[in-house]
Amino acid sequence: MNDQFPIIALVGRPNVGKSTLFNRLTGTRDALVADLPGLTRDRQYGYAEFEEKHFIVVDTGGLMPDSGDALAALAEEQAQIALEEADHILFLVDAHKGRLGADESIARHLRKFKKPVTLVVNKAEGQTKNQATADFFTLGYGEATPISAEKGDGLPVLLREILKDFPETPPPEADDDDTIRVAIIGRPNVGKSTLINKLLGEERVVAADQPGTTRDSIAVKFDYAGRKHTLIDTAGIRRRARVTEVIEKFSIVKTLQAIERAHVVIAVVDAQADIGEQDARLMGLVAHRGRALILAVNKWDGLDKADREKATYHVTLKLPFLEYAPLHYISAKAGTGLPKLMKDVQDCYAATMREMKTPELTRALEQAVESNPPPAVMGRRIKLRYAHQGGNNPPVIVVHGNQTDKLATHYKRYLANQFRAIFKLKGVPLALVFKTGD
Ligand code: GDP
Ligand code: GDP
């Protein structure tokens, strides 16, 4: 596949405005999915879009670690990997503070990566270009681009410039037939490769692997229960394909690429290890992108009753996506639970691609309203008139009415559950969009 999203990494010392810029770049999609239950906002990795071009933004906030815990360490390593995999680096500095020693260290550090770097002076609102940028010329990255992440000034110019060499991205639906694209994601050692090998069968041929070309991804086609599937690369496939025992680095960015291309994501966790925040983070990314999600709790073999209870407890406690994601207890090694898992892959695919007609959706809406009308706001009833489909993978349902901005969250969730039940939307994070007027 050569239709990967470009990766833009944001780098800079603390407080230059990386997360403000990150939020601004990834913001529109958040608005669309903001009503999802159990969604944890992932601060560091996100999808963004500008003038028909899609890209992935990585906030490498962890570049300068200040805490020693495991998650910070991973963030740090992931920041390095993100820089290695980045197509373009935005090096942020602060117009208010001027050039600091930390900026100079970062400037030196970035040279090692031999990547295109754009020096961006943030917080430049109200300053002339010359005032904002003059101080930074000696960092050695040429003339800086002034922006205001907070106000949005300068962003179109900046984005047009860095995205100019990347093609417009076709939506994934456009590229083939009814093949189900599956991504298997999870932390290192949870059993992804074992699961993949089991699904593909022993004698499969792995597509030629090319070490060093991190942008290439591998897609493996296979049939399962009479259906065509394509398995989308995450690090798991590649590592096994290597003769040279190079340990492939676990890459959140690659995981994001795979999620993007998938219809259905199987998130694997290890029942014999701690299930925790990193697993939840990965699943948060899937929910954020609106992909169908199935949770596979692996290594279920060899656990006694107490261990199983403990694992189940951790799954329900720590992974807040169970509200819609089907849950499977499997053993990739023994092959147990895989037929049922793959049946759900088919069901989730059907759900995420489901076509829902306007009269059917409107009837479902009317039924839902009839049995449980929305509460009145200041004496006025909220009217919900009709609904139509706004897209699939992920399914989007647009509900039209008046005062829809006053609808309570619990009522929106009630509606989502009604639609989910009637249209059998298994495993998908259904997005409801409300419109007032027309
Ligand atoms: P990070 O540590 O690099 O992620 O920085 P943040 O995004 O958290 O921003 C640090 C501070 O700078 C916050 O108080 C922001 O509100 C502020 N800030 C970010 N962007 C701008 C901007 O364009 N103009 C101004 N004046 N302040 C900004
Ligand atoms: P990956 O890094 O996620 O691809 O994980 P691997 O597939 O390489 O598996 C990591 C380790 O877990 C290996 O030693 C596997 O043999 C083991 N493993 C994988 N699946 C299972 C399972 O279902 N049960 C048990 N007991 N071990 C497993």
189 has pLDDT over 90:
no
What pLDDT shows up at residue 3? 53
Between 17-31, 46-60, 356-370, 384-398, the lowest mean confidence (pLDDT) is in 17-31
Atom of ligand 2 nearest to the CA of 332: 23
Structural class in CATH, domain 359-436: alpha beta
246-272 pLDDT, tens digit each: 445 567 777 888 888 899 999 999 999
Listed in sequence order, the residues at least 6 apart from 231 whose beta carbon sits closer than 8 Å to its beta carbon are: 182, 183, 184, 196, 199, 200, 219, 220, 221, 222, 237
128 has pLDDT over 80:
yes
Atom of ligand 2 nearest to the CA of 196: 7
Share of residues in the chain with pLDDT > 90 (%): 45
Q: Is 426 annotated as a binding residue?
A: no
CA distance 30 to 68: 30
Between 83-92, 195-204, 334-343, the lowest mean confidence (pLDDT) is in 195-204
Q: Is 228 annotated as a binding residue?
A: no
4 has pLDDT over 60:
yes
**Is ligand 2 within 6 A of the CB of residue 307?**
no
Confidence band for 286, pLDDT divided at 50, 70 and 90: confident
**Is ligand 2 within 6 A of the CB of residue 404?**
no
244 has pLDDT over 60:
no
**Is ligand 2 within 6 A of the CB of residue 192?**
yes
Between 38-52, 269-283, 288-302, the lowest mean confidence (pLDDT) is in 38-52
Query: Which protein residue's CA is at the shortest distance from atom 17 of ligand 1?
Result: 17
Share of residues in the chain with pLDDT > 70 (%): 81
What pLDDT shows up at residue 40? 44
The larger pLDDT score, comparing residue 188 to residue 98, is at: 98
Both tokens of residue 184? 């298997």
Task: Give the pTM.
Answer: 0.76
Domain 7-163: give its CATH architecture: 3-Layer(aba) Sandwich (3.40)
Confidence band for 284, pLDDT divided at 50, 70 and 90: confident
279 has pLDDT over 60:
yes
Q: What residue spans of 100-244 are helical by DSSP H? A: 101-111, 129-133, 155-163, 192-200, 235-241
Main-chain dihedrals φ then ψ at residue 329, nearest 5 degrees: -100, 120
How are beta strands 292-298 and 219-224 bridged, if at all?
Answer: unpaired
Q: Rounded to the nearest whole angstrom, what is the distance from the C-alpha of residue 95 to the centroid of ligand 1?
A: 11
Same fold: 7-163 with 180-353: yes
The larger pLDDT score, comparing residue 341 to residue 31, is at: 341
Query: Which protein residue's CA is at the shortest distance from atom 11 of ligand 1?
Result: 15
- Residue to mutate (ligand 2; options 333, 336, 338, 341; most atoms within 8 A of CB): 333
What pLDDT shows up at residue 208? 40
The CATH fold of domain 180-353: Rossmann fold (3.40.50)
Atom of ligand 1 nearest to the CA of 10: 3
Task: Yes or no: say if 87 and 6 are a contact pair by the CB < 8 Å rule.
Answer: yes
| Domain parsing of the chain, residue ranges | 7-163, 180-353, 359-436
What pLDDT shows up at residue 43? 52
Atom of ligand 1 nearest to the CA of 59: 4
Between 59-68, 294-303, 371-380, 416-425, the lowest mean confidence (pLDDT) is in 59-68
What pLDDT shows up at residue 216? 44
Q: Is 65 annotated as a binding residue?
A: no
* Mean pLDDT for the stretch of residues 23-27: 86
Ligand found nearest the CA of 329? 2
Burial of residue 438 (CB within 10 Å: 0-12, 13-18, 19+) is: exposed
Confidence band for 274, pLDDT divided at 50, 70 and 90: confident
What pLDDT shows up at residue 74? 55
Between 140-144, 206-210, 217-221, 360-364, the lowest mean confidence (pLDDT) is in 206-210
